[in-house]
Structures are given as C-alpha cells and as structure tokens.
A and B are shown apart, each in its own frame.
Chain A
Amino acid sequence: MNRFQKLFKTKNSPVLSVYFTAGFPKIHDTAEIIRQLSDSGIDMIEIGIPFSDPMADGPVIQHSSQIALNNGMTLPLLFEQLKDIRKITDIPLVLMGYLNPVLQYGFEAFCTKAAETGIDGLIIPDLPMREYLNEFQGIVQKSGLENILLITPETSEDRIRRIDANSHSFIYMVSTASTTGAKKDFGEDTVAYFKRVKEMNLINPVLTGFGVSNRKTFETACQYSRGAITGSVFIRCLQQTSDISKAVKLLLETLHS
C-alpha cells in the first residue's frame, strides 16, 4: 500500500493537501515549510517546481515561481534540500511542475531521484494522459512513483473512467475552467459537476483543487469529494508574513473561518 492509499484508508474526515512553490519566499524555506505544514496536521503536500512559463497558473503562483527562479531554485538544488525530508514527515509528498524542466533533468533520472528522496507522486499539468501512457508510464511505474492525473468540467465521462483506471493514488478534480487562484464561491454549474463526478463512484478518491480559498469553497469541495487542494491562498499567506508557522496558522484560519 502506497502512502496515498494509506492516507485515504485511515482518514475519515476531509483530506487537506497544500501546494507551495519551492524557493519561495526564500530559497532555503523548502524543508521548513514542509515541517510546519506536516506538524500542523496537513495531510499531503505538493512541492511546486518553479517554471518560467506556468501556463495553467494564475497570477499568484506565476509571481511566486518568478521569485523562486530569481532566488536561484533549480531541480538539483530542490532534491538536495529534500534529501532528509523523510526524517521530518511521513505524509504523502508530491512534486508538481511543468514538463520542460523535468525533461531537461531527464525524465527517468528525475523519477529515480524523486523516489529515492521519498517522494510519492508527480503532477505534471502539461503532460496529458495520451502522452503519459505512450511514453512515460513505464518509467514512472518502474520508479515506484504515482502519476496523478487531472479531470476538469470539460472532461467526458468516458475519459474520466480511463483516467480513473490509470490512477493508483487519487484524482485531481479541477473545480472550474480556470487557471489556479482564488474564487469566492463555486457556482451552480460547478456543484452540478462535483455531483456528477461523485455519482460516478470512481475507484480512486477525488480531491478538489483550483479556487479553494476560503471556508465556503473548502466545505463545498469536501462535501462532494474526499478533500481539497489549496495553493494560491497559502502563497498569499506566505507573502503576508515571513514567519512560516504564522503563515500556516493563517492558512488554516482562512479555510476554517
């Protein structure tokens, strides 16, 4: 059983996964952010690999990525920062980033290194299912990592089933047709789509992301799926205070009040 399966098997209340951009706000914050999130009871962490051209991200994550790159973040440095991470936490850790930096590192070398480091899964938003299955699935499986695929309001039922069949961790349900970033509320269409997916009774648990930024959106997400993923809102907390433990508290207050 992988760490994802263990988490979803043992946890009955909603799961909360938090994204942050590695190298933001300061270059060497990575391990400390993971420690603070893990200590505060966050269930899963997505470590963002910064990229110069993040085409699926809104302004908040674009900005954090640019700062991280200006700070000098690279994949080799990130792996160096993560080398003792399993002494700090036992929750599932996911690397999330665009395909190009991973290809330049070497896709296979990247997977091997990530698995060695204790990473559990990958999210590559510009690696769609067909390209993944044709070219990369064998490499990912050999490394022991899990590749996490996304579904959106535009994804057909048939395609959702195929994504489900090719997943062994969880499914990342993108809430709306949008880039990452805050929404005050999920509209009727969004809730109808959440229901539709819920009623499909997928094999894999579903987590909802994109736009989860306050109590209302967090609760709606948890009502129709196993939990929520939040990113931009945490980046904004990190912008407000350089004290990471305060930023984590601020995040939890934002989602629960």
Chain B
Amino acid sequence: MHTTFHVDSDGYYGPYGGAFIPEILHKNVEELGACYLNIMNSPDFQDEYQELLRDYVGRPSPLYYARRLSERVGAKVYLKREDLNHTGAHKINNSIGQVLLARRMGKTRIIAETGAGQHGVATATVCALLDMPCFVFMGETDIARQYLNVQKMEMLGATVVPVTCGNKTLKDATNEAIRDWCCNPSDTFYVIGSTIGPHPYPDMVARLQSVISEEIKKQLLSKEGRDYPDYLFACVGGGSNAAGTYYHYLENDKVKFVSAEAAGLGLESGQSAATIHLGREGVIHGCRTLIIQTPDGQIEEPYSISAGLDYPGIGPLHAYLAKTGRARVEAITDQEAVEAAFALTRLEGIVPALESSHALGALMKFRFNPEDIVVVTVSGRGDKDMPAYIEQFPTFLKR
C-alpha cells in the first residue's frame, strides 16, 4: 500500500532512492537537501526561473494535436513539443533551475556529466547566459561519437573534460563528475541531468521538469475541456522527461502512464538498456534503484541506439512506479524506435530525437479505444540523430 508517489522525508520512493554518498559529500548534499525547496519555492527564484522559461526557452511548449498520427494509432494523440525548446530538448528546464539554485547557494563553479551531449549543451548554454564557469565530463567514446555537441559546448565557453576510465561513456562520465565534486565540495555545484543520483536530486530534477505536466493540464483543459488525458507516454533513460510529464498526475488514477525504455537489440540479446525489465536492486551513483549488473554486482555497460537512454540505472521514482504497477513499462527495440521516428516524420513532419522515438514506438504498439486522449512527450528533436537516421535511409526511403 502506498500513500504517495512523492519522495519521503528520508529521500525514498518506497525502497528506492536515498543518498549513498562518500562522507566528503555529506555536508554538500545535506545542505542542498535542506534548502532546495525553500529556494525553489521563493518568489524571487520563481520570477527569474519562469521568466527564463518563457522568454529564453520559449515556453510553454505547444501541445500539438497530431491528426494523421491519431488516425494511424486509433486514438486522439497530442504531442508535447519539448523538441521546440531552446537547445532542442527538455534538458534545459532542469539546467536553468539548477544553475539558478547554485548561484543562490553561493556556488561559483558548475560541473555536469553528459552522454550524447544534450545535457552538457543545455548546462553550458545556461552557464554562458549566467556567466558561470562550466566543466562538462564526457566519455572519450561519446566525444568521438558526438563531436558536434563537444564543439558546441566549447563555443559556449564550457570546458569539456574527456573521461578515459571504464568504457568511456555516460556511466564513467558520471563517476568522474562525482570524483571532481569530492575534490571540490565547497565551491562546486553538480548539475545532474536526470532524476538520478543521491537525494534530493531525483526530486529536484522532477520538480524542475514538472513544468511539462503543469502545461499539459492547462493546454488539455482548453483543448478538451478536461485537464487530464487517459494516457501519458514518455521515454525513460534516467527518467527526467517522464518524471516531468507524470508529475502533476502522479496521484490521479484516471491517468495511465506508459514508460518506454530502450530494449536495444532486444531484451534477450545482451545488448539492451531496459533497466526496469532487466535490472536488479542495487546502488549506483548515490541511489538505490534497479541496475543492469552482473550477478557479482559489477555495473554493466548498457546498449541502445539512443545515447540518451543507455544508462545502467533508472531514476528511483520510475523504479517505484514500475514496482507498484502505477506505470506500465514497455521495452522498445532500436528497430521499433527507428520505425516510429520515420513514421512521425512522414505523418507529421516532425523529426524526433531517438530517445523520444522510443515513446512513439510504445504508442504505435498500443491498443486504444477511439475516444482515448493520449499525450506523448517528444522530449527532443532529431537533429543530433541524423547520422543514425541516414544509415536507415536504404530501408525507409526506398519507396
């Protein structure tokens, strides 16, 4: 029996969450935990945050009725267009909030981890805007794969720190960011990009992304005369856009959640990032959650065509939503995601990010009643994924 899907006072969602951090970070994380709500709820913070979301990010992002897509899937489908935000994804909602918070806490140096580079670019953007030094940790493998984003971050004035340990991807970049934080606990603020990490990060990031569901409520009310849909669809890697999409509906049982995680080449292929399907409980990056790991508890390198979904853990909120049955979790393969991306492009003229394509892939597989109202969050745009899409041209453009 649950009473709430919100974080409890110890930082847990049911059995998941907590703050499993080295002692050197205790003071830092404790301070953040003690002040984040006060600061985020203060009128002064809200004024600055809301103004930037409106005038800089371009919010509210449209809730677009996708007519042809609706016909295809047999329900009334709306797209929440986070892809239209400045920097091309939902990530900036969070980066702005955390950097504003950091400044109010007197921190003078920003660090961030990044996989594909979207969170790195968003954080570097905000740091340019607010004139803060910014260091982005990025695995060498990802640097090679996403060089355009590296150059973008450098143009924005950030220092991209190449990470050479482990497999040189997101998980290792996160380890290295935490190590930097251990070495600079007093002046540095770690801007985590998803609903992961030690408490209060998962809750803080969910709140900063909750603007997504706040807007959906208002927009649906004016379009449909009711402020809730029957279904919400979102992709989950760490889980930040899904957390934002669900946030104001967490306690509304009329709204069903469908989370799409990345099955990669398939659940049984050994090449997957479907953490909720394949993971076991453990502790990663300061948080108890589901993790893709070996029987001995070594963290495994996940695989997905989408660089934003190949994290071996999952936000503790999503582990709990899945455990309690509040969210239904679909594992979407690379193939299904790519098919959905080409379908959306041809039906609606929108090229989605590969991450968002997983949510669309789950939508395409789902059976609806014709009167169902469905909202799918398109978390980002597909520009960064063009090389992956171009590889698929022989299959999809032959007609």
B282 touches A150 (CB 8 A): no
In the complex, A27 has a CB within 8 A of chain B: no
A66–B175 alpha-carbon span in the complex (Å): 14
A93–B21 alpha-carbon span in the complex (Å): 24
In the complex, B284 has a CB within 8 A of chain A: yes
A104–B296 alpha-carbon span in the complex (Å): 6
A151 touches B283 (CB 8 A): no
A150–B275 alpha-carbon span in the complex (Å): 32
Chain B 246-302 interface residues, beta-carbon cutoff 8 Å to A? 280-286, 291, 293, 295-299
A57–B172 alpha-carbon span in the complex (Å): 13
A127 touches B298 (CB 8 A): no
A57 neighbours in B (Cβ, 8 Å): 179
Q: For residue B26, which residue of chain A has the nearest CB?
A: A128
Stretch at the interface among B131-139, B181-189, B324-332, B371-379: B181-189
B26 touches A155 (CB 8 A): yes
Chain A 89-110 interface residues, beta-carbon cutoff 8 Å to B? 98-105
B390 neighbours in A (Cβ, 8 Å): none
In the complex, B23 has a CB within 8 A of chain A: yes
B298 touches A101 (CB 8 A): yes
In the complex, B50 has a CB within 8 A of chain A: no
Q: For residue A176, which residue of chain B has the nearest CB?
A: B183
A119 neighbours in B (Cβ, 8 Å): none
Residue count of chain B within 8 Å CB distance of chain A: 38
Task: Find B166's partner among A52, A100, A101, A130 (CB 8 Å cutoff).
Answer: A52
Chain A 158-180 interface residues, beta-carbon cutoff 8 Å to B? 159, 174, 177-179
B282 touches A128 (CB 8 A): no
What 1/0 flags go to B309-329 for Cβ under 8 Å of A?
A: 000000000000000000000
Task: Find A100's partner among B18, B165, B172, B299 (CB 8 Å cutoff).
Answer: B299
In the complex, B20 has a CB within 8 A of chain A: yes
Given contacts A55-B285, A178-B182, A179-B179, contact A131 B296 (CB under 8 A): no
A126 touches B22 (CB 8 A): yes
B285 touches A103 (CB 8 A): no
A178–B184 alpha-carbon span in the complex (Å): 8
The smallest beta-carbon distance between A54 and chain B, in angstroms, is 8
Given contacts A66-B166, A154-B24, contact A100 B291 (CB under 8 A): yes
In the complex, A69 has a CB within 8 A of chain B: yes
Q: For residue A134, which residue of chain B has the nearest CB?
A: B10
Q: For residue A101, which residue of chain B has the nearest CB?
A: B297
The smallest beta-carbon distance between A183 and chain B, in angstroms, is 12
A26–B172 alpha-carbon span in the complex (Å): 25
A105 neighbours in B (Cβ, 8 Å): 296-297
A100 neighbours in B (Cβ, 8 Å): 282-284, 291, 293, 297, 299
The smallest beta-carbon distance between B187 and chain A, in angstroms, is 10
The smallest beta-carbon distance between B81 and chain A, in angstroms, is 36
In the complex, B104 has a CB within 8 A of chain A: no
Given contacts A52-B298, A100-B299, contact A154 B26 (CB under 8 A): yes
In the complex, B171 has a CB within 8 A of chain A: yes
A177 neighbours in B (Cβ, 8 Å): 24, 182-186
A55 touches B185 (CB 8 A): no
Task: Find A104's partner among B24, B171, B182, B295 (CB 8 Å cutoff).
Answer: B295
In the complex, B54 has a CB within 8 A of chain A: no
Q: For residue A135, which residue of chain B has the nearest CB?
A: B18
Q: For residue A77, which residue of chain B has the nearest CB?
A: B296
A53 touches B284 (CB 8 A): yes
B293 touches A104 (CB 8 A): yes
A103 neighbours in B (Cβ, 8 Å): 281-283, 297
A156–B28 alpha-carbon span in the complex (Å): 12
A105–B10 alpha-carbon span in the complex (Å): 25
In the complex, A62 has a CB within 8 A of chain B: yes
Query: Which of B25, B184, B291 has the largest count of A CB atoms less than 10 A from its CB?
Result: B25
A56 touches B283 (CB 8 A): no
Query: Which of B24, B175, B179, B293 has the largest count of A CB atoms less than 10 A from its CB?
Result: B24
Chain B 20-42 interface residues, beta-carbon cutoff 8 Å to A? 20-28
In the complex, A24 has a CB within 8 A of chain B: no
Query: Which of A57, A59, A129, A152 has the largest count of B CB atoms less than 10 A from its CB?
Result: A152
The smallest beta-carbon distance between A74 and chain B, in angstroms, is 5
In the complex, B360 has a CB within 8 A of chain A: no
B297 touches A128 (CB 8 A): no
Query: Which of A62, A125, A154 has the largest count of B CB atoms less than 10 A from its CB?
Result: A154
A169–B22 alpha-carbon span in the complex (Å): 20
B26 touches A74 (CB 8 A): no
A222–B122 alpha-carbon span in the complex (Å): 47
A-B contact pairs, 12 of them (CB 8 A): A62-B165, A75-B296, A99-B20, A100-B299, A101-B298, A102-B297, A104-B282, A130-B19, A156-B27, A159-B26, A178-B24, A179-B179
* B interface with A by C-beta (< 8 Å): 10, 18-28, 165-166, 171-172, 175, 178-179, 182-186, 280-286, 291, 293, 295-299
Ranked nearest first, the 5 interchain pairs of A and B with the lowest CB-CB distance are A104-B297, A101-B297, A52-B298, A154-B27, A150-B23
